[in-house]
Structure 1
């Protein structure tokens, strides 16, 4: 179960990284997608950091998944449009602040798993985590 939970975390960090890496001068739409995603991620992180129960954690995960489901088609389209950028490691200087913010959010996101791990035996948290894994897997369909 913990393995599934951690794979969801890796997927979410990949989403954040993909959006930032796609944020070149030529690809302004990626910046817009990142700015759309950040508030959802911050809301999730704030909720998890304050959560003292399994239902609170499940709600936080499900809320993030709801936003990720809305964004998934847009990110898949960016991945199709600019496949060469999926492995790009550098971000143009114009987007340095976005990269800095993404790094900070990525660190907080990683720490959020420690808080949630104590509730992973709860069926609602497990179900929410399964949803997250499914959405993250859909971002990079096989063969694309």
Structure 2
């Protein structure tokens, strides 16, 4: 007894539907099982904030310690030098980013440009390639870069 083309199409349709239904019910089970794997405590995430393990924090502290890195080259032993600097307090010229159009200075780890105030009584007047002129309480002082 030969099967007609109509019967063959019905069998193919039934097998396809059965396969689709099987996939619909199996895929959620497979996906759910992957989510049930145990996670170590250090790698857990609750969705609110990043998890920082103690080993990462202790390494960061270790690298920040002066004993490992030596002295900070941006804070010289003599924080400032130049004409009129004897009355200047709490200012260290850490560096100058020189550009003839818009030079910047790094004073007390703060990036400033001409016209910026460093604190309530100190203002940057001029920045050149190797020195910065500041005015503190009405008196002008020159900070010069220390050459190593």
Question: TM-score, normalization: structure 2?
Answer: 0.21
Between Structure 1 and Structure 2, the one with more helix by share is: 1
Larger radius of gyration: 2
Structure with more relative contact order (C-alpha pairs < 8 Å, separation 6 or more): 1
Decide which structure has greater strand share: 2
Q: How high is the TM-score relative to the length of structure 1?
A: 0.21
